[in-house]
Structure 1
Amino acid sequence: MRSAISIPSNIAEGCGRKSVKEFNQFLSISMGSAFELETQMILAFEFGYVEKPILDQVITLLNEIQKMINGLQKSLGI
């Protein structure tokens, strides 16, 4: 699942940009990837590739990541 790699990669790339606006854009892409991964995990569960306890654990962690990205975006003051 490429979206799992995309989350931290976009945060890192955005951090290396010269403006806060650019950083915020990459955080938005990271957030999209987090929601994409959440959807992929739900589908993996629906298709029988992942068991419910694993799905629940991953969703909980993704929700924490989404909150952290949101908090970082708010701290940028944009």
Structure 2
Amino acid sequence: MNHKNLYVWIKSMDLVETIYKLTQTFPDAEKFGLTSQMRRAAVSIPSNIAEGSARKGDKELIHFLHIALGSLSELDTQYLIAVRLAFIEKEDAVQEQMIDVKKLLLGFRNYLNK
């Protein structure tokens, strides 16, 4: 299975781009803190989809989709921390993007579990 053809991978790559642009506005003091954490969590999502897709079977892919879901939850929490610390203003578009990726991950997982 080629991960580059998976809609969930494409949308998670879009989320990575959004997070990189968003964190560019964070204070310099956060370069190795929240900026780094958010970027790593975002990158982990499509990376785990890709790794799981390269494995032997659906069981392994599902395992990596669960890891991607965990990274998405981390990212959501870190995003809310950044809002609470007033590094950024809450943006519905960013939250909707995260919700969309979560729905796609869950849908793909559920499809593979059948």
TM-score normalised by L of structure 2: 0.64
Q: Percent identity between the aligned chains?
A: 43
Aligned length, in residue pairs:
76
List alignment gaps of at least 5 residues for structure 2: 1-37
Q: SS at 1:7's partner residue?
A: helix
Tell me which amino acid in the other structure corresponds to 1:77.
Answer: N
Q: Tell me, in whole angstroms, the C-alpha distance in 2 between the residues paired with 1:77 and 1:51.
A: 38
Which 4+ stretches in 1 moved above 3 angstroms? none
Distance 1:12 1:74 in 2: 18
Q: Where does 1:1-78 land on structure 2 (aligned, <5 Å)? A: 1=38, 2-53=40-91, 56-77=92-113
What's the CA shift for 1:77? Answer: 1.9
Larger Rg, first or second structure (1 or 2): 2
What is the one-letter code of the residue matched to 1:11?
A: I
User: Hey, what's the Cα distance between the residues in 2 that align with 1:34 and 1:5?
Assistant: 10
Gaps of 5+ in 1: none
The CA RMSD over aligned residues, in Å, is 1.0
Deviation per residue, 1:27-46 (Å, 9 max, x gap): 00000111110000000000
Q: CA deviation at 1:52?
A: 2.0
Structure 1 counterpart of 2:110, one-letter code = K
